[in-house]
Structure 1
Amino acid sequence: MSTSNNWLVHCVGLRSYNISLAYISFSIADVTSTKGNEFEDYCLKRELLMGIFEMGWEKPSPVQEESIPIALSGRDILARAKNGTGKSGAYLIPLLERIDLKKDHIQAMVMVPTRELALQMSQISIQLSKHLGGVKIMATTGGTNLRDDIMRLDETVHVVIATPGRILDLIKKGVAKVDKTQMMVMDEADKLLSQDFVVLMENIISFMPKDRQILLYSATFPISVQKFMSKHMQKPYEINLMEELTLKGITQYYAYVTERQKVHCLNTLFSRLQINQSIIFCNSTQRVELLAKKITQLGYSCFYIHAKMMQEYRNRVFHDFRNGLCRNLVCTDLFTRGIDIQAVNVVINFDFPKNAETYLHRIGRSGRFGHLGLAINLITSDDRYNLKNIEDQLVTDIKPIPSSIDKSLYVAEFHSVDAEDGEEKA
């Protein structure tokens, strides 16, 4: 074995075991290669500009430069852009600009595939609109009290941010009236138009006016998205900021290990890497809980989250992790869609995903909005086919790891979470 791989010998505990690692390193041009526009150039309300600048958004990113003026014109948009490049601002800014406070009905809907993403988008919307003087924003998702939502919709609501099942239930009950809703955003549209949601989405659209505006954002464009576009969108303005299915700013490695060596390898990674916050992915809810327990036993602060947990608990874990109360989070693919926690600089696939799309969304949790990130994949012999398949789809050049991982590849300006600050266990 070459000396370049010696640092991982301890990780698996066997000098005779053949460990191979690969990396891909990209630049951060996705969020820095702009036309030089300013938010003031879009003739936005002064009060909305105040909210934008208070969010810390100084200049529009490329996807925002492309989206904002077109969305303000009322035209449909089909946008392909990487995660972490400012997609939420690309649609929330024109959406909020176009809200008419004199009208007391639902004027815009944002559809997202997960409850966590709905809560995150509602928080961003509320912050952006806090100076607009009365824009009413409501998040509605499964797993929450239906009666509370019904009572809330009895009052004025201008913007609804929702998961498909819950909003369709409210529409069918006659509580959420969307017959005058002029704008619908579909974030993570590839997921919303997958078999899990596509029937629900078709139902929701059937209740909306025919001249509504649809803004569709996705990192990948499977056949389902193309079918939806041809059926429901009117000559959409197409934005493609992804020439390939890779994520810039993220350095990726993989290591061959046996199943029983994974925890020991993870322990070594924790001791060797400079982690601000990390997300660790497993392929099942049972493995999430077991791994979180192991990590806690190793002495590291750790939360966990998965779809079978009560929604109230999921909300608390997400909120606390986002606020830096814990360094490590173990989860299933529930957490791959659009969740924006900029302090996350390391993603570890404890279980390797089965397809390129899932892989793309998982590693996209690091390297948010131009910051650098590191993705490490633990590969067993059973994962070799998936690894080769993903490598082919992403057109990656696999090379050996250097003798040590250069911290400049993944350590951003965020301060690490203090271990003593994150002692609470999930």
Structure 2
Amino acid sequence: MHHSHFSVDTILSNLNIDSLNEMQQASLEATAKHDNVIILSATGSGKTLAFLLPVLRSLKHEDKKTAAMIVVPSRELALQIEQVFKSMGTGFKSSCCYGGHKREIEENNLVQPPAVLIGTPGRIADHLRRGNITADSIHTLVLDEFDKSLELGFLEEISFIVQSLPSINKRILTSATAAVEIPAFIGAAEADELNFLPEGGVTTPALAIQSIHSPEKDKIDTLFKLICYLGNRSSIIFCNHREAVERTSQLLADKGILNTFYHGAMEQRDREIALARFRNGTVNFLVTTDLAARGLDIPNIRYIIHYHLPSTPEIFTHRNGRTARMDASGTAILILNDEEKLPAYITAPIEKIKLPEDLTVPEKPKWTTLFIGAGKKDKVNKVDIVGFLTNKGELKKEDLGLIEVKDFFSFAAVRKVKASHTLQMIKEQRMKNKKIRIDVAR
């Protein structure tokens, strides 16, 4: 087999690195001997190069199709890896695919297949479904920060990706924790494991803190761009006053960002509706005062955006406590205008977000919320609601999302495309022999 003759020395000098570290050296050797290698190492220890060098070794210049795929949990990581690959100066083309990036741009980049394709699970799965990727030519698969991908709930997409690639003969997985179960479908059963984790395991802080600069004093434009950049992941936006909450929510809505708001002056029922819609994914953005920083049970929040700076370190901690719970990771982002400094109590180094030129409004959620005018006090439970909506409302199981039953009313998430048909079907129907008001919750 003729492989590209690449010299590690040339690449290192292109990257301004003196020599490979122990892990990178071990990875080069292990990947030459074994089909499947797992690299356990702390984030930031140089693992990008530890898999890019073996990937490069497997590329051939005469191949005109994609040969290697690198799947990562976040766009930041995808862009970072692409940057390293480009700096290596190999002469091979790479391309990056991630949510929140214009799909047409990516499709154009894929017309001439890149040798190395880097991307996030959802977007790669999307391109595979659309036939934009030369799937059968890909022989090397890298799952970088695999533990993070599992944690963020990308298992289904990764499973689909692996099933779509019939010719994989080399797998490299990286993880910052040794405790991760590698699912059987990945096919890495006999993997050689390189453990470079520090003694006693690694404790990574689950919460990352980032900042972004707003050129204008009024931050709404920066907030809008930031949301386009982050994509439709569940996010809470904290403002310091009720008026600001309503204004910010309205301005985002005017710019096409579906969101809801929550503050102390609202009727109890409206607050319940707002939270239910946010919890079940009908909206991904909740604009709120510090009221929401205390005791709200909302799982899986990916981003906490401090639109206004918290007035005390305690409030900062409370707000951030909405995310990075129970092993899930999260990111807190502070928006700072020219007059604002990073609060003194933030001592850790902070990553500054640089927005790309090209931003698109995130896709609208696929769910809508039905308000059901009956609850526990009417002896209505989840089973009743599921039964009613599947039988009378002609919904399949997968068209039903989260169902919440309160004392006097309930909420059900329903796939948006099915909602009007369902409402039509149940208009005259009774639940538990009662005529019950069911409507889209606004």
The TM-score normalised by the length of structure 1 is 0.50
CA displacement, residues 13-61 of structure 1 (integer Å, 9 cap, x when unaligned): xxxxxxxxxxxxxxxxxxxxxxxxxxxxxx9945553122231222222
> Does 2:174 correspond to 1:217?
yes
Q: Specify the SS of the correspondent of 1:66.
A: helix
Q: For the residues of structure 1 that align with 2:27 and 2:223, how far apart are their CA atoms?
A: 33
Structure 1 residues 309 and 354: CA distance shift in structure 2, 3 A: closer
Residue 280 (structure 1) aligns with = 209
Q: Specify the SS of the correspondent of 2:42.
A: coil
Residue 28 (structure 2) aligns with = 68
Q: Aligned-pair distance for 1:141?
A: 0.9
Residue 40 (structure 2) aligns with = 80
CA displacement, residues 87-119 of structure 1 (integer Å, 9 cap, x when unaligned): 111101111122111001110011111111111
Letter of the aligned partner of 1:228 in structure 2?
P
Residue 156 (structure 1) aligns with = 113
Q: Answer yes or no: is the 8 Å Cα contact 1:114–1:334 preserved in 2.
A: no
Residue 63 (structure 2) aligns with = 103
Q: Answer yes or no: is the 8 Å Cα contact 1:306–1:334 preserved in 2.
A: no
CA displacement, residues 389-422 of structure 1 (integer Å, 9 cap, x when unaligned): xxxxxxxxxxxxxxxx9xxxx99xxxxx9xxxxx
Q: For the residues of structure 1 that align with 2:156 and 2:230, how far apart are their CA atoms?
A: 27
CA displacement, residues 269-306 of structure 1 (integer Å, 9 cap, x when unaligned): xxxxxxxxxx736xxxxxx89xx89xx99xxxxxx989
Structure 1 residues 209 and 307: CA distance shift in structure 2, 3 A: farther
Structure 1 residues 44 and 63: CA distance shift in structure 2, 3 A: farther
Q: For the residues of structure 1 that align with 2:194 and 2:4, how far apart are their CA atoms?
A: 21
Structure 1 residues 110 and 306: CA distance shift in structure 2, 3 A: farther
CA displacement, residues 313-352 of structure 1 (integer Å, 9 cap, x when unaligned): 9xxxxxxxxxxxxxxxxxx9669xxxxxxxxxxxx97835
Residue 40 (structure 1) aligns with = none
Q: Answer yes or no: is the 8 Å Cα contact 2:139–2:167 preserved in 1.
A: no
Q: Specify the SS of the correspondent of 1:196.
A: coil
Structure 1 residues 309 and 50: CA distance shift in structure 2, 3 A: same
Q: Aligned-pair distance for 1:62?
A: 2.7
Q: For the residues of structure 1 that align with 2:345 and 2:145, how far apart are their CA atoms?
A: 24
Q: Aligned-pair distance for 1:192?
A: 1.6
Structure 1 residues 110 and 211: CA distance shift in structure 2, 3 A: closer
Q: For the residues of structure 2 that align with 1:120 and 1:191, how far apart are their CA atoms?
A: 16
Letter of the aligned partner of 2:136 in structure 1?
D
Letter of the aligned partner of 2:137 in structure 1?
K
Residue 125 (structure 1) aligns with = 85
Q: Aligned residue pairs: how many?
A: 254
Q: Answer yes or no: is the 8 Å Cα contact 1:142–1:166 preserved in 2.
A: yes
Q: For the residues of structure 2 that align with 1:307 and 1:73, how far apart are their CA atoms?
A: 46
Residue 194 (structure 2) aligns with = 239
Which is greater in Rg? Answer: 2
Q: Specify the SS of the correspondent of 1:121.
A: helix
Q: For the residues of structure 2 that align with 1:65 and 1:306, how far apart are their CA atoms?
A: 44
1:188 counterpart (145, 156, 159): 145
Residue 95 (structure 2) aligns with = 138
Q: For the residues of structure 2 that align with 1:171 and 1:230, how far apart are their CA atoms?
A: 18
Q: Answer yes or no: is the 8 Å Cα contact 1:79–1:238 preserved in 2.
A: yes
Structure 1 residues 280 and 100: CA distance shift in structure 2, 3 A: same
Q: Which has the higher contact order (CA 8 A, sep 6+)?
A: 1
Identify unmatched segments of 5+ residues in structure 1. Answer: 1-42, 251-278, 282-287, 298-303, 314-331, 336-347, 364-375, 379-404, 412-416, 418-426
Alignment of 1:276-425 (within 5 A): 280=209, 309-311=227-229, 351=320, 354-355=324-325, 357=327
Q: Specify the SS of the correspondent of 1:179.
A: helix
The TM-score normalised by the length of structure 2 is 0.48
| Cα root mean square deviation, aligned | 4.4
Q: For the residues of structure 1 that align with 2:326 and 2:44, how far apart are their CA atoms?
A: 18
Query: Where is the helix percentage greater, Structure 1 or Structure 2?
Result: 1
Q: Specify the SS of the correspondent of 1:214.
A: strand
Q: Answer yes or no: is the 8 Å Cα contact 1:307–1:334 preserved in 2.
A: no
| Identical amino acids, percent of aligned pairs | 21
Q: Specify the SS of the correspondent of 1:220.
A: coil
Residue 178 (structure 1) aligns with = 135
Structure 1 residues 191 and 46: CA distance shift in structure 2, 3 A: closer
Structure 1 residues 377 and 333: CA distance shift in structure 2, 3 A: farther
Letter of the aligned partner of 2:201 in structure 1?
L
Q: For the residues of structure 1 that align with 2:144 and 2:37, how far apart are their CA atoms?
A: 12
Q: Specify the SS of the correspondent of 1:139.
A: strand
Q: Answer yes or no: is the 8 Å Cα contact 1:153–1:176 preserved in 2.
A: yes
Letter of the aligned partner of 1:238 in structure 2?
E
Higher mean displacement: 47-56 or 172-181: 47-56
Q: Aligned-pair distance for 1:149?
A: 1.5
Q: For the residues of structure 1 that align with 2:191 and 2:224, how far apart are their CA atoms?
A: 36
Residue 22 (structure 1) aligns with = none
Q: Answer yes or no: is the 8 Å Cα contact 1:183–1:213 preserved in 2.
A: yes
Residue 342 (structure 1) aligns with = none
Q: Answer yes or no: is the 8 Å Cα contact 2:73–2:145 preserved in 1.
A: yes
Q: For the residues of structure 1 that align with 2:68 and 2:127, how far apart are their CA atoms?
A: 15
Residue 409 (structure 2) aligns with = none
Query: Where is the strand percentage greater, Structure 1 or Structure 2?
Result: 2
Q: Answer yes or no: is the 8 Å Cα contact 1:61–1:85 preserved in 2.
A: no
Letter of the aligned partner of 2:31 in structure 1?
A
Q: For the residues of structure 1 that align with 2:84 and 2:75, how far apart are their CA atoms?
A: 14
Identify unmatched segments of 5+ residues in structure 2. Answer: 232-300, 305-315, 333-343, 353-442
Q: Aligned-pair distance for 1:199?
A: 0.2
